[in-house]
Chain A
Amino acid sequence: MSLEESRLIEKIIAGEKPAFSELVNAYKNKVYNTALGYLQNPEDAEDIAQEVFIEIFRSIETFKGESSLSTWIYRISVTKSLELIRKRKRKKRFAIVKDIFSGSNENFEPVDFIHPGIIMENKERSALLFKKINRLPDKQKTAFILNKVEGLSYKEISKIMNLSQSAVESIIFRAKENLKKYLKLYYINKI
């Protein structure tokens, strides 16, 4: 952890509001973008971004400085995003069961997500890719999103996920193989 970071943390612990605002402004895009990659919904991503900073505010005293501040913040962002995804899945399962008994026929397919940072010619393809990313297991999803959406290196991802670099490489390789498989199944009937 750098000297600047530790000074900022000391100020936040001391209750200096401008210091906390400084932290929020420095990291809000990273947190929001990470959450957006998982949740594929701007409102949910903003909610999670708020939850992440509230968590940071509440537990900043427990931050030991063993990792960088950025790594710690990414970890909280990943955890909060995955928690919301699990909560959504539980709600969806309950709603499906309820609908079976009530006889209604609601469509539970997620709406196409167009990430605001995608170039025009890739919007449709990226929407399809994000749908397939949803199907990946959590570790593969995390590694892929941190690498492809957040642009983090394998080294940075390994610190966030607490894994070796080679483990991260292997996870991303498997994620890509799975995505290729899902995409092949989609395109095979279209070509």
Chain B
Amino acid sequence: MDKEIKLEEEVNLTLNSLDGIQQAEANPYLSQKISARLNENVIGVTIVKHKLIYTFMILLIIIMNIVTLVAINGGNKALTNSREEMLKTVATDYSIIDKSYNY
């Protein structure tokens, strides 16, 4: 019985231990810290924007180079084909190609 009363007393004392609590004070420089963070965020967003623009430009240059290379190779092939045809025509004109054994 005594133990129960003691238990109840301890519990209530602890439960009421926040009575009269004073408000804790925030850092007096909190306002400056917040301003600094807000400025950081603005700079951070600007840097990310610039990085994206640079990345896009580099990709564009790479793509343009690839397109140009493909176009040049395609052109070379066409050039080779027309050169071959030209040679055949010249050979035929000057009877360089021997058709005598074409049975």
**Does chain B have a CB within 8 A of A174?**
no
Residues of A within 8 A of B98 (CB): none
Residues of A within 8 A of B23 (CB): 29-30, 33, 117, 150-151
Q: What separation, in Å, do the CA atoms of A31 and B27 have in the docked complex?
A: 11
Task: Report whether A50 and B17 are in contact in the complex, using a CB–CB cutoff of 8 Å.
Answer: no
Residues of B within 8 A of A122 (CB): 17-20
Taking the closest CB of chain A, its distance from the CB of B4, in whole angstroms, is: 9
Task: Report whether A32 and B26 are in contact in the complex, using a CB–CB cutoff of 8 Å.
Answer: yes
Chain B, interface SS category: helix
Q: Which of A24, A46, A125 contacts B14 (CB 8 A)?
A: A125
Residues of A within 8 A of B35 (CB): 17, 21
**Does chain B have a CB within 8 A of A188?**
yes
The interface-forming segment of B5-13, B62-70, B88-96 is B5-13
**Does chain B have a CB within 8 A of A184?**
yes
Select from chain A the residue with minimum beta-carbon distance to B30.
A28
Q: What per-residue 1/0 map shows which CB atoms of B16-47 lie under 8 Å from chain A? A: 01111111111100110111011001000000
Q: How many A-B residue pairs have CB under 8 A?
A: 103
Residues of B within 8 A of A190 (CB): 10
Q: What per-residue 1/0 map shows which CB atoms of A171-191 lie under 8 Å from chain B? A: 000001001100110011011
Select from chain B the residue with minimum beta-carbon distance to A30.
B23
Task: Report whether B11 and A49 are in contact in the complex, using a CB–CB cutoff of 8 Å.
Answer: no
Task: Report whether B34 and A53 are in contact in the complex, using a CB–CB cutoff of 8 Å.
Answer: yes
Q: Which of B17, B20, B37, B38 contacts A129 (CB 8 A)?
A: B17
Select from chain B the residue with minimum beta-carbon distance to A42.
B24
B75-98 with Cβ < 8 A to chain A: none
Residues of B within 8 A of A72 (CB): none
Give me 13 other A-B pairs in contact (C-beta within 8 A), A32-B30, A118-B21, A128-B17 excluded.
Answer: A28-B30, A28-B31, A33-B26, A46-B30, A54-B34, A116-B22, A117-B21, A118-B18, A118-B22, A126-B21, A151-B23, A183-B11, A191-B6
